[in-house]
Each structure stands twice: as structure tokens, then as C-alpha cells.
A = this chain, B = another copy of it.
């Protein structure tokens, strides 16, 4: 497989139940979150410098591939950040109900294609007390390398799962959640609407916006009031504002 092909890699990683963790810190956080390494790829330089750390992170029988830096760069198509990468095993995704039961505020990400936005939203979610994140079947992978990095590891911290059925308003209603769809053309304004006790905030991709079925099935379509001539915010900024405005 060509590791340099993002699309191919994203597909291959999820289908095979693995993901790539890059840098000692990320590998460490992934381990703490319960993910196990399958193998390591380390540059010669970092195998020496990080020998002790490597021993803590790898189990005795985990293969560790040590290569000159030019080879790790050649294989991966980028400079292996801080010298270490690990192939990690995904854990089964939690059942939506198990995430909803203990939560007050959750986010639902619909069809985001940009890993940077996914990572940024997880980072804000962790900082602003979102209890769990649900992603639509076609949403970009939170465990993809760039999502992980931009999230500053928050993808290992905030519980999340991928919805198989989407949209599924009954699921949220069943657990007492009111769903708010964030859209530039809503019927209520953020900051002027009292949040329900249990809230699911739905945000969608920038170009097309939320799907009609997500909009119509939500309990409320909510808008961030904006200045004249501006029709939208970047989805990561909009989500951060919504998380902040609905905090408890």
C-alpha cells in the first residue's frame, strides 16, 4: 500500500481497524486511552535517543522497525515527526446509548471532510466540556494522523463513536436530548435561546451545510447571528462558539 495516498490510507486504516500515532506524546496518550500498539517505526537517531521511552511504550513482543531517517521519510512521504510512529489497534466503537446515558451536552458532526476541522472541533469539545462526540457515517476519521495532531490528543480524551444510522433523531430523543442543528438560516438565535437540560448540537460541513434531513429532523435550527454581508463562519469556529454559548 502507498502510505503517501491519504484517501487510500484513510480507507485502509479504518477497514483494518488500525490507525497511525505519530510522536512519543501521541503514542503515549493513545496508550493511556487504551489503544495497543501493533508495531513501531522509528528512525535510527530516535531509537537511540528515545530507547527508554520506547521500552515503556512497546510490549516485549511488539515489533520495532528501526530505519535511517531518509528511509522513514521515503516510506511515509513526510518527515516522521519526532522520530517515532506506531501502528495502533482500534478499539470497538462504543454503543451510542452508552455515551448518551451519562452526558448533558454532546456534539454531532455531519459529513466533515477536512481532518483539520475534525481535530479542531475535538480540541474545542475537550476544552469546553462536551461530554461525547457522534460522527455521521461519512464524516472524516478522528483517528487520522492530521485529526489527532490538530486535536492535540483530544480525540483520545473525548468519548466518541460513529453512527451507523444517520440521522437518527429517535436515538437522541430516547435519552431525553433536544437536538439543535447549527445553520446560517435557522429559526432561533444562539445566545437568545435557553438550552435544554440535555443538548445535542449538530454541525455540518461548510460548503453544502447540513443535509435537509438533518435540518428537518432536528428539534430546532439555530443560528449564530452575524454581521451584514457575511454568510458563514468556518465550522470549527462555529462549533467552538456554540460549545461556549451553551456551556453549563
Contact = CB atoms under 8 A, between A and B. Distances in A.
A232 interface: yes
Give the number of copies in the complex.
2
B126 A234 contact: no
Interface residues of A, number: 26
Contact of A245 (B123, B129, B244): B244
A120 B128 CA distance: 20
A237 B129 contact: no
B124 A227 contact: no
A240 interface: yes
Interface string A217-248: 00000001011011011101110110011000
B233 A236 contact: no
B236 A127 contact: no
Contact of A237 (B224, B226, B229, B237): B237
Interface in A149-164: 150, 154, 157
A192 to B, nearest CB: 12
28 contacts: A120-B234, A120-B236, A120-B237, A123-B230, A123-B233, A123-B234, A123-B237, A124-B233, A124-B237, A126-B227, A126-B229, A126-B230, A127-B226, A127-B230, A127-B233, A128-B226, A128-B233, A150-B234, A157-B230, A191-B244, A224-B244, A236-B236, A240-B240, A240-B241, A241-B241, A241-B244, A244-B244, A244-B245
The 3 closest A-B pairs by CB, nearest first: A237-B240, A127-B230, A127-B226
A154 B241 contact: no
Contact of A227 (B129, B229, B232, B233): B129
A150 B234 CA distance: 9
